A and B are shown apart, each in its own frame.
Chain A
Amino acid sequence: MSPLLTGMTLVLCVAMIVAALLAIRDPSPEVAKTDTGGLPIAILAAGLVSLIASILFLILAAPDVAMTEAAIGSGLTTFLFFFVLGRIRRHETSGDNHD
């Protein structure tokens, strides 16, 4: 492995750990009072972990795994979480008299 790829791996690992810690962090009190809490930030951070993981898979010479991680982990999961979060918010704000 060339020194360029080694340095890139180190930077990406640090960024991945920071993003993962951000994904599981407790939201601050003023954020936790809003209607969805800190969930959008956590979803974005999880998508970031997926993005960096796919670049790391690419450095490990697995382009097919990297492409799957890009499409599923960073794309579809993030969209799906935001879609469900929007549905939940609409349900909660329109009154919960039919459940």
Chain B
Amino acid sequence: MVEILVYLAATLVGLALLLALYRFVKGPSAADRVVAFDVLTIVGITGIVLVALAEGRGIYLDVALVYALLSFLGVIVIARYLERGL
């Protein structure tokens, strides 16, 4: 039962990644793509946690920690660029 539910969760995360990727490809302006990039990073964090769960190795969570810090800094730098203030 637990296995089936974890598989279902991984499928839903994969679908969310594909939907955000569609917006990344289609998005009319650069700001839309930045939003899609942010969502893709967060979905990627969940994906990393799922990989760590499937492999059963807690050391993989460090990569998710790095991404949780980096997505914030990245979006702020890109927003400063879009604001023409960099």
Contact = CB atoms under 8 A, between A and B. Distances in A.
A and B touch in the complex (CB under 8 A): yes
Interface of A: 2-5, 7-8, 11-12, 15, 18-19, 22, 40-41, 44-45, 47-48, 51-52, 54-55, 58-59, 61, 63, 66-67, 70-71, 74-75, 78-79, 82-83, 85-87, 89-90
A8 B14 contact: yes
Nearest to B77: A79
A92 B70 CA distance: 30
A85 B24 CA distance: 21
Given A44-B34, A48-B40, A79-B73, A70 B81 contact: no
B77 A55 contact: no
A97 B54 CA distance: 60
B48 A82 contact: no
Closest 8 CB pairs of A and B: A86-B86, A75-B70, A11-B14, A40-B30, A70-B66, A82-B81, A79-B77, A66-B63
A5 B51 contact: yes
B70 to A, nearest CB: 4
